[in-house]
Structure 1
């Protein structure tokens, strides 16, 4: 088969991969919301919850669920004006609908019985994730006993406004402090849960995020396919891990705040660049491209191109870290309790990343050593498809921003 025919096969196969992948969402993190809740104890069995909720989402959800069209009109007008006082006043004027919506979907239980909520003070406004958030403080009468449980089903996907909502809970109650992440699959937790249960919640959340984030998986796949030796992929993966851990934690500390409309297109571009890097090397060498595979059996050393690749991977890893933080809506001031949970979230990401490398890379090495030319074209086809999909997503995300 001539080089021209082989290149045509690569392009056709890449086009097929793109065709099959265009049904995937352009953004792995879009159309979600994050609610923040802080739970503290009071006297005589009182529990106080401070909820921070996305303002416009609360307005449309509460107006729709409670049948309060005046809330929708006043709330959306205040949102468009961007006046925080006007926004808070709109909710205060329609507090029955707004508070009613929240208390039907968020609750505190004591020994299996629901605690009675009451609003403490007026609505106030703040900012999270670059958009206005409203603050609602509720006092719960839990005088029946302890063994408290928190449940959140705020802004479910069935309402049609967001795909999913995560509720990040931090608490200082019953002599213990900690944090939990609630979502549709895991809507409740007990304050008295064990440290292992708290660890597992955020570990699971991190693992699920990488497994369901096709853009991050494709980036990792491009790194694996573009590596000739185990040490090369280990270096690349380590560079990526260090970089995204840095920005993930800086975002958690509130030091870095980059809008998603900037982060998401760059993540897509990173997929195209890393995959295209290896594809370009194959294309440039033509019939001698199998040297790339054969070289993997000899002595390992990084040439200048290898160091440049590591630098590129590190830089893009910094951006992916902001994407991971964005998955939890993290760009606010931190607490030690929440920071520990975020570290566990990051461990969940790394566990899945290592698992993918452990499965994919040995299979790729086996194909390359048994049939070097076939291994080369398998790598080329994968990289071509991944690169084109990355470019497509980048354009889509730019158009959506």
Structure 2
């Protein structure tokens, strides 16, 4: 009896850890990606092109620059999807936009801050990855290094805290920087945990930036964690969770790279509801087995002694997992937010981002699945009740999120 209680408590604690790492507000929803493309067309100055989510720019500029006319002019145009109206508002209030951006973004070179000047062109379009209007501006930073600075060693230092959580509109905003400076072509990821980088950063620093970004994205993405939970509790043997995790990895890695390179384009309005539906369907798959098989729901009906043998239901499940993995990969690509053409630095960043995701995913499986298997062995009835209850809860949450993302009603908070 004491052993059963210990096992049940251990499994419950593991599930609470998996589901409790993020809050509901950390599921996909109210976050944003800022795109930055920096290059140096001439000596001692850097041209930076920005892509910023339009509605966030409206409220941030209105709050920090006290420019309510920009909000009053731009918000109705945003509500109506009027690109021309949004562009006109951006043009009329470019100086206020410049004030906000340069208050939260800067470049230093040779121990001196670079002086910003707003370029004349400004535009608004629909971002294909995010599915929402983005404002595009360019700023020319004039850089005059100190006379005693070693610019060849130090390079340019970038700082960004655009759309910070302290503003109260979004959580976990990321700034993805692509740069061609100081004889370097590279990418960098900035967020509230890392607000600056240098173009002379080391290999290890570049690795850690995108590794951390991938790991944090999985840990803070409640929808991906719920999907992983459904995979774990629905797996009957070690071989099944290993094959399911491998299949999911191959699938989401494929679309992560294809989507980020622009080979496939699916907007967030389509991807996010499908992710929610995948959560509900994967959990419901296990519930259906429980209804049909009862206490034999975790039996694996195979005659082969191969370590990777599965029955027909197992192979069908892998096919479904692969399809859902393709969908989640597009969600990962949208979170990373890189929409530039092919480059080796971009490929490197994607691979490291993916390694971060996989490390956390495998770590959680190693933590939880052995406890589940031990509980099923020592107390099969209790294990069946616990996993059924968890699967039911995950399925209901997935369906509610699907409704929220398709129809816009609000039952479970998804954003801050």
Counting only pairs closer than 5 Å after superposition, residues 239-250 of structure 1 correspond to structure 2 as 239-250=247-258
- Could you say which residue in structure 1 is the equivalent of 2:3? none
Aligned length: 381
Q: What is the root-mean-square deviation in Å for CA atoms of aligned residues?
A: 2.6
- Separation of aligned partners in 1, 2:297 and 2:85: 67
Q: CA deviation at 1:93?
A: 2.2
- Separation of aligned partners in 2, 1:132 and 1:246: 27
Q: CA deviation at 1:184?
A: 1.2
- Could you say which residue in structure 2 is the equivalent of 1:55? 54
Specify whether residues 104 and 390 from structure 1 end up closer, same or farther in structure 2 by C-alpha distance, changes over 3 A only.
same
Answer yes or no: is the 8 Å Cα contact 1:294–1:372 preserved in 2.
no
- Could you say which residue in structure 2 is the equivalent of 1:317? 325
- Could you say which residue in structure 2 is the equivalent of 1:105? 104
Specify which of 238, 244, 261 is matched with residue 269 of structure 2: 261
Q: CA deviation at 1:312?
A: 1.1
- Could you say which residue in structure 2 is the equivalent of 1:186? 194
1:115-154 deviation line (CA, Å, top 9, x unaligned): 1111222323333222222222112122215322100111
- Tell which deviates more after alignment, 388-397 or 318-327: 388-397
Specify whether residues 97 and 313 from structure 1 end up closer, same or farther in structure 2 by C-alpha distance, changes over 3 A only.
same
Q: Secondary structure at the match of 1:240?
A: helix
1:292 is the counterpart of 2:298:
yes
- Separation of aligned partners in 1, 2:89 and 2:297: 68
Specify which of 376, 379, 392 is matched with residue 384 of structure 1: 392
Specify whether residues 117 and 379 from structure 1 end up closer, same or farther in structure 2 by C-alpha distance, changes over 3 A only.
same
Answer yes or no: is the 8 Å Cα contact 1:27–1:397 preserved in 2.
no
Answer yes or no: is the 8 Å Cα contact 2:302–2:310 preserved in 1.
no
Which structure 2 segments of 5+ residues have no match? Answer: 1-11, 410-416
1:189-224 deviation line (CA, Å, top 9, x unaligned): 111100110111011000001011122112112212
- Separation of aligned partners in 1, 2:334 and 2:317: 26
- Separation of aligned partners in 2, 1:393 and 1:177: 40
Q: CA deviation at 1:290?
A: 4.2
Q: CA deviation at 1:64?
A: 2.3
Answer yes or no: is the 8 Å Cα contact 2:301–2:310 preserved in 1.
no
- Tell which deviates more after alignment, 318-327 or 363-372: 363-372
1:139 is the counterpart of 2:131:
no
Specify which of 238, 250, 253 is matched with residue 230 of structure 1: 238
- Tell which deviates more after alignment, 204-213 or 369-378: 369-378
- Could you say which residue in structure 1 is the equivalent of 2:406? 398
- Separation of aligned partners in 2, 1:26 and 1:312: 28
Specify which of 314, 318, 335 is matched with residue 327 of structure 1: 335
- Could you say which residue in structure 1 is the equivalent of 2:413? none
- Separation of aligned partners in 1, 2:344 and 2:54: 27
Specify whether residues 311 and 294 from structure 1 end up closer, same or farther in structure 2 by C-alpha distance, changes over 3 A only.
closer
Query: TM-score by structure 1 length?
Result: 0.87
Specify whether residues 36 and 278 from structure 1 end up closer, same or farther in structure 2 by C-alpha distance, changes over 3 A only.
same
- Could you say which residue in structure 2 is the equivalent of 1:218? 226
- Tell which deviates more after alignment, 324-333 or 306-315: 324-333
Specify which of 369, 383, 387 is matched with residue 377 of structure 2: 369
Q: CA deviation at 1:53?
A: 1.4
Q: Secondary structure at the match of 1:258?
A: coil
Answer yes or no: is the 8 Å Cα contact 1:252–1:334 preserved in 2.
no
Q: CA deviation at 1:70?
A: 2.0
1:73 is the counterpart of 2:69:
no
Answer yes or no: is the 8 Å Cα contact 2:255–2:326 preserved in 1.
yes
Q: CA deviation at 1:297?
A: 12
1:277-324 deviation line (CA, Å, top 9, x unaligned): 2222122223xx247358699945322211111111111111111111
Q: CA deviation at 1:169?
A: 0.2
Answer yes or no: is the 8 Å Cα contact 1:257–1:331 preserved in 2.
no
Q: Secondary structure at the match of 1:292?
A: coil
Q: CA deviation at 1:352?
A: 0.7
- Separation of aligned partners in 2, 1:65 and 1:291: 58
- Separation of aligned partners in 1, 2:65 and 2:377: 65
- Separation of aligned partners in 2, 1:181 and 1:336: 16
Q: Secondary structure at the match of 2:262?
A: coil
Q: CA deviation at 1:97?
A: 1.0
- Tell which deviates more after alignment, 188-197 or 36-45: 36-45
